[in-house]
Structures are given as C-alpha cells and as structure tokens.
Amino acid sequence: MLGVTDLWAYVAATVLIILLPGPNSLYVLSVSARRGVRSGYRAATGVFVGDAVLMVASAAGVASLLKTSELAFSVVKYIGAGYLVYLGIGLIRSAIKTWRARHESPSDDADAPTLVSFERPFRRALTASLLNPKAILFFVAFFTQFVDPAYPYPVASFLLLGVIVQVCSLAYLTVLIFSGNALASAFRRRRVAASVGTGGVGAVMIGFAVKLSTSSLA
C-alpha cells in the first residue's frame, strides 16, 4: 500500500516501540497528573508536532548530516541532555515545594497554581522532542525498513508511515493523559504521594539525560 511493505508488521512494531517509556510520554503523564487533561493535551500536541518535524527532517535528509557528522550529533545531543536536566530539576523543585506544604490544609492552596503557572507544556514537550538526535536517526532507520525502494512516490510512503505513528501515539498519550488526571485528585489529597511522584519523574528525566549524553552514533 503506497509503497509500504509489511504494513501490519510495521503497525505492530510501532505499537511496541511507542509503549516503551521515554521522556516525552513521562512528561505528558506528569503534566496531566499535576495540571489536568487540558494541559496534558497541550504537552501531547508538542510531542505530535515535534515528531512530525523530526519525520519530515528525516525524509528530507537532515538525518544524514547527524549520521555523518560527529560534531553535529554531539551538539544536538548535549543540548538535548541539558534540556532534560532542566526539566528534571524543575520537577524536583516542584516536588520539594509540595513536600514543604504537605501539612497545610487544602484551603491553603489558593497560591498553588503559581507554582506551575510559568510552565508551558506545549513548548517544553516540543523542545524536548526536537532536541533528540537519536529520534531523527531512529525514524530513518525504522522507516526505511518498510519502504519499497522501487515505489515512484516515496513521499507518500513516508506520509503513510508518519500518520500511523501519530495515530498510535495519540491513542497511547490519551490513555496516559486520563490516567494522569485520575491521579491528580488523589495527589491533591495526598501531598506526600504527589511530591514523591513528581520528584521521581524529575529524577527519571535526569536519568534520560545521562543516557542521551552517553549515547553515540554507533
């Protein structure tokens, strides 16, 4: 179909890959738990746009530059790792504030939104997505396995593969958003759990940053 070989094998592989935990999905879950469904979808939209840009960049040959230039790969890699550290530290700071306020009554929460009022879920998710050179290389390596080189319209093939990725991603992130929203009410009542959960996500973000910073082209 449209130059795509083994379509259902591609769909199955896409679902399995999307289910693997990563910084984007973890951030969407965290935002939903802290700020609700609307903010969760803002973060998810950032992921969608970021992935779309990466897929277009892959099809346009930008990945070839990252693949052949160690310097370009390293620059994007370290900037991306630094940004994940920034996100992780922000979440840990928010967890500390919640922990310190754990003995206050819910009626004292009038100023709580200000703790996250400056967070921009869409922008943060988009930036984290774009600053991941491994994702660009992944799309090239993954997509080319399912594109028929003899098909005269490769753009149509890449478009179909990209749409499938985005549909699967939308379904998965929607589950995470509503799961996070379900956690939100419990977190509002249990600040210790909220602070531990948010801090844990921040620590995992920093772990992803370390993993990214030590990755290589190989």
Q: Is residue 218 part of a domain?
A: no
30 pLDDT more than 60 = yes
Predicted confidence (pLDDT) at residue 109 exceeds the cutoff of 50: no
**HSE on the CB side for 200, CA within 13 Å?**
9
Q: Whole domain around residue 49: which residue ranges? A: 7-213
pLDDT value of residue 186? 60
Judged against a pLDDT cut of 90, whether residue 145 lies above it is answered with no
Note the pLDDT of residue 122: 93
Q: Is residue 1 domain-resident?
A: no
Q: Confidence band (pLDDT; 50, 70, 90) for 135?
A: confident
pTM of the shown model: 0.69
- Tell me which amino acid residue 2 is: L
Closest C-alpha to 98, from 182, 194, 203:
194
Residue 61, burial from CB neighbour count under 10 angstroms (0-12, 13-18, 19+):
exposed
**Confidence class of residue 8 from pLDDT cuts 50, 70 and 90?**
confident
Task: Work out the average pLDDT over 191-196.
Answer: 63
Q: Please name every residue paired with 4 in a beta bridge, in sequence order, or none if there are none.
A: 147
Tokens encoding 84: 């994940």
Confidence of residue 193 (pLDDT cuts 50, 70, 90): low
Residues forming beta bridges with residue 147, ordered by sequence position: 4
Average pLDDT, the chain: 76
d(C-alpha 106, C-alpha 119), whole Å: 22
What tokens appear for 144 in the block? 């080319």
Domain-located, residue 2: no
Q: Indicate the SS3 state at residue 106.
A: helix
Of the candidates 91, 92, 93, 73, which has an alpha carbon nearest to the alpha carbon of residue 81? 73
Question: Angle, to 10 degrees, between the axis of helix 37-60 and the axis of helix 23-35?
Answer: 160
Please enumerate in sequence order all residues whose Cβ is within 8 A of that of 68, keeping only pairs 6 or more positions apart, or say none.
Answer: none
Give the pLDDT confidence score for residue 167 in this predicted structure: 92
- Which has the higher per-residue pLDDT, 31 or 183? 31
Report if residue 103 sits inside a domain.
Answer: yes
C-alpha to C-alpha distance for 29 and 118, rounded to whole angstroms: 18
- Are 47 and 196 in contact, with CB atoms under 8 Å apart? no
The answer to whether residue 43 sits within a structural domain is: yes
Domain count, the chain: 1
| Range among 66-80, 97-111, 122-136, 139-153 rated most confident | 122-136
Residue 168 within any structural domain of the chain: yes
- CA 149 vs CA 57, 136, 164: distances in Å: 19, 20, 19
Whose tokens are 């500390």? That residue is 96
